[in-house]
Chain A
Amino acid sequence: MNWIRNAAIGLTVAICASTPSFSNEIGNAADGEKLWGECKSCHAIGKDAKNRVGPHLNGIFGRRAGSEEGFNYSKGLARMGKDGLIWEFDLLDRYIENPKAFASDTRMSYRGLKDEQKRADLLAFLRRYSDNPGDIPEAAPTVAGTDHDVDPSILAIQGDPEYGEYLSSECTSCHQLTGDNDGIPGIIGWPAEDFVIAMHAYKDKYRPHPVMQMMAGRLSNDEIAALAAYFEAVEP
C-alpha cells in the first residue's frame, strides 16, 4: 500500500496503518499448488481437465457431491449429494482432513492431510478453478468472514455514534431515511430495544429473511447497538 508512504498525511496515516485486514484468506494458493502434486496423479484441474481415476476438480466449490457426469462415485458420496451436500470450504476441509471419516466408502484412497494450514493452502489453490463471484455472484465465498463478536479491533470502536452512522450507510441502500414503507420496511425512529431484538433474531436466523440474516450475521453486538441508537434518533 504505497499510499501510506505519503508521510505528509500524518493523522490519516496513523489511522489507515492501524486498519487491519479483518477477513481470513482461505490460504496461500502458491503453497497449495505445491501440495497439488500429491493429488494430480488421480485428479485433473484447469483447461480441458477430464475425469481420471478421480473426478476433475474444475468448479468443485459449489458443486453438488457425487454429481460430476460420467464419473462413477461411491454410493455414499452419491447419496450425500442427493441429500443436498454442496461442496464449500468447510466441508472440503473436513473431507481432505480424513476422507474415510467423512465418507466411509469413498473411493479416494488418500490418507488425509492433518495440517490445517496445508489444507487451507490446497483449498486456496483449488478455489481458483471454481466460479468467480465477480462474474457469478452466487459462486462460493473466497474468504472466511470475520467473527465480529470476537474481533478486538472492531470491539475497540464500540459505542461510537459516528461509527453507527457509517454502518447505517449499508442499510440506506434499501431502507429509506424518510421512513417510507413500500416493499422494504422503514426502520427510523424505532425504539432501540426493538431494533436490537429484531437484529439479533435475524442474526440467530429466527427471522427468515435471507438478506437481513446476512446483514445482521456480520454485525457484532456493539455494532447492532450503535445502529439501534443511530436509527432511533433519526426523524423523517
Chain B
Amino acid sequence: MKINRRLFMGGAAAGAAATTLAAPMVHAAGHGKPKVVVVGGGAGGATAARYIAKDSKGEIEVTLVEPSRSYYTCFFSNLYMAGFRELGSIAHSYGKLASDYGINVVHDWAIGIDREARTVSLAGGATLNYDRLVLSPGIDFVDGAVDGWDVTHQNAMPHAYKAGSQSELLKAQVEAMPEGGTFAMVAPPNPFRCPPGPYERISMIAHILKEKNPTAKIIIADPKEKFSKMGLFQDGWSRHYDGMIDWIGGDFGGGNVSVNPHDMTVTIDGEVTKVDVCNVIPAMKAGKICDMAGITEGNWAPVNPHTMQSRVDENIHVLGDASSQGDMPKSGFAANSQAKVAAMAVRSALTGSKLFPAKFTNTCWSLINDNDGVKVGASYEATDEKIAKVDGFISQVGEDAELRQATYEESVGWYAGITSDMFG
C-alpha cells in the first residue's frame, strides 16, 4: 500500500480509509515526518540509516549520529597491518549518505537517552527527537578485564580492536620490534567482536615477522580452549610460520593473565615473560550508550529476533555487536544483515510498508598468509527465542592453493560490496 502523505497530512483522509492509513503514522502525530535516529555509523548503523532513507523514499527523516568523520572498518584492518591494504583503503566518509540519501549526518557523541520523552542528547548540547531509535554502538571494554591494563595503557599495550590510530600504532610497534623479539597477545573471552579476528591478526603479524624478523616469537594467552576456524589457523600456522607461534589455551592457564605496561611484562599462569609488543584485547560489552539507555542485561542488549527491537523498549532497535540475539557471531557482516531486517521493521512501523520474515546471513573470511584465504559462514532464521543457525559451511584443511586464492579474492570483492552497501 502506498501512503499519500500529503493527503493524510492535509486532513482529507476522512472516513473508512483513514483508519488504515493513519494507524502507522500515529507516532509521527504532531511533528511532521516520522523521525529515526541512528546512533553509530558502522556496519549496522550506516546500513540501517541508508536502507531506511533509501526505501522510505523521503517519508522518514533519518539522522545518523557518529563521532568519527572518517570511519575505519575493523574488518580488513588486520590486512592493513600486514601491508596487504593501505590505511586509506579501509577509511570511509559519510558524504554520500548525506548527499545521495538525504541523511542528516551529525558528527557528535550520543551521551544520553530519555526513553519516555524519546530523545537523544548529544555531547555538543543538541537534543534529537525520535519515533524509532536504532542503536548500533559496537563494543566497549569491560573495566578491569585484564589485570594491570586499562584504557590509559592503550598506547603501551594497544588493543587495536577499534580500527584507526590503534591499528597504526600496533603495526608500527610490530615493525619496530628488536631482532628475535617477542610479541604477545592477550585474547578475549567469549563472546567478543569478530571470533576469528584475533587469530587472523596473529597470522598477519607472523607474516610481517617472517619477512622482517624471522627469529621473533609470538605468544598468545587465551582464556578459551577452542576458537573459530582453529583447525584451519593451526594448519596454516604450521605450514607458513612453523615454530613461531605459541598458543596457550584456557586448559593450560592461558586465562590466568596479568600485564605490566611499565615493565612490558606479561604473566601467564605465574610465569613472567618480558615482551616487546603486547596486544591486549580485553573482554567486551555493548557500547556504553546501551547501558545508559537502560536496555542491557549483563553485558549486552537483548533483542527480539524478528525485528531487532530491544526486549526492554519497543521503540529501540539494537544492531550488531551490542545486541544479544542468539547464534550470530558479532561481525560486520552480521550487523549489516541485521540492519536490513531492522530497517524493514522500522519502515513497517512508521509508514506501514510490508514486514517480511527476517532472514540473516553471515560469512567471515580470514587471511592466513598471502593468498591463503579461508571462510566460515551460516544462514539464520528468527525464532521467538533467538536468531537460530540453520545451515553453514567452513573451508577445509588441505584445500588447494587456487581455491584459497579464490577465497581471498572473494573477500576483497565482499569488502567492496559491503562498504558500498553501508556508505552508498
Q: What residue in chain B is nearest A183 (Cβ atoms)?
A: B413
A21 touches B384 (CB 8 A): yes
A145 touches B228 (CB 8 A): no
The docked-state distance in angstroms from the alpha carbon of A10 to that of B22 is 9
The docked-state distance in angstroms from the alpha carbon of A132 to that of B336 is 21
When distances are taken between beta carbons in the complex, the residues of chain A under 8 Å from B304 are 1, 3
Secondary structure call for the A interface:
loop
Question: A199-212 CB contact bits vs B (8 Å, 1 = yes)?
Answer: 00000000000110
Q: Can you report 30 A-B residue pairs in the complex whose CB atoms are below 8 A from each other?
A: A1-B304, A9-B23, A10-B24, A12-B348, A15-B354, A15-B355, A16-B307, A19-B306, A20-B357, A21-B382, A132-B190, A133-B329, A133-B392, A134-B190, A134-B326, A134-B330, A135-B228, A136-B226, A137-B195, A139-B389, A173-B421, A176-B417, A182-B416, A183-B413, A183-B416, A211-B410, A214-B393, A217-B391, A218-B379, A218-B391
**What is the count of residue pairs linking A and B with beta-carbon distances less than 8 angstroms?**
202
When distances are taken between beta carbons in the complex, the residues of chain B under 8 Å from A10 are 19-20, 23-24
B414 touches A23 (CB 8 A): no
When distances are taken between beta carbons in the complex, the residues of chain A under 8 Å from B416 are 176, 180, 182-184
The docked-state distance in angstroms from the alpha carbon of A175 to that of B414 is 7
Q: How far is the CB of B2 from chain A (nearest CB, A)?
A: 11
Query: Which residue of B26, B328, B410 is within 8 Å of A8 (Cβ)?
Result: B26
Question: A18-30 CB contact bits vs B (8 Å, 1 = yes)?
Answer: 0111110100000
B329 touches A143 (CB 8 A): no
When distances are taken between beta carbons in the complex, the residues of chain B under 8 Å from A218 are 359, 379, 390-391
Q: What is the size, in residues, of chain A's interface with B at 8 Å between Cβ atoms?
A: 61
Check: B297 CB closer than 8 A to any chain A CB: no
The docked-state distance in angstroms from the alpha carbon of A110 to that of B383 is 33
B229 touches A134 (CB 8 A): no
The docked-state distance in angstroms from the alpha carbon of A150 to that of B376 is 28
B392 touches A184 (CB 8 A): no
Interface residues on B, range: 35 or more
Q: Give A122-148 interface residues, CB cut-off 8 Å to B.
A: 131-146
Q: What residue in chain A is nearest B361 (Cβ atoms)?
A: A170
Q: Give B26-52 interface residues, CB cut-off 8 Å to A.
A: 26, 51
The docked-state distance in angstroms from the alpha carbon of A6 to that of B376 is 40
Q: How far is the CB of A186 from chain B (nearest CB, A)?
A: 10
Interface residues of B (CB under 8 A from A): 19-20, 23-24, 26, 51, 190-191, 195, 226-229, 304, 306-307, 309, 314, 326-330, 333, 336-337, 340, 344, 348-349, 352-357, 359, 361-364, 375-379, 381-386, 388-394, 409-414, 416-418, 420-421
Which of A33-41, A67-75, A161-169 lies at the binding interface? Answer: A161-169
Query: Which residue of B330, B352, B355, B417 is within 8 Å of A174 (Cβ)?
Result: B417
Check: A104 CB closer than 8 A to any chain B CB: no
The docked-state distance in angstroms from the alpha carbon of A184 to that of B412 is 8
Q: A9-B23, A134-B326, A184-B414 are in contact. Are A143 and B389 (CB under 8 A)?
A: yes
When distances are taken between beta carbons in the complex, the residues of chain B under 8 Å from A173 are 333, 336-337, 361, 414, 417-418, 421
The docked-state distance in angstroms from the alpha carbon of A16 to that of B391 is 25
When distances are taken between beta carbons in the complex, the residues of chain B under 8 Å from A210 are 377, 393
Interface residues of A (CB under 8 A from B): 1-3, 6, 8-12, 15-16, 19-23, 25, 131-146, 153-154, 157, 160, 162-163, 166-167, 169-170, 172-178, 180, 182-184, 210-211, 213-215, 217-218
When distances are taken between beta carbons in the complex, the residues of chain B under 8 Å from A162 are 353-354
When distances are taken between beta carbons in the complex, the residues of chain A under 8 Å from B421 are 172-173
B390 touches A9 (CB 8 A): no
- Residue from A138, A167, A211, A217 whose CB has the most chain B CB atoms within 10 Å: A138
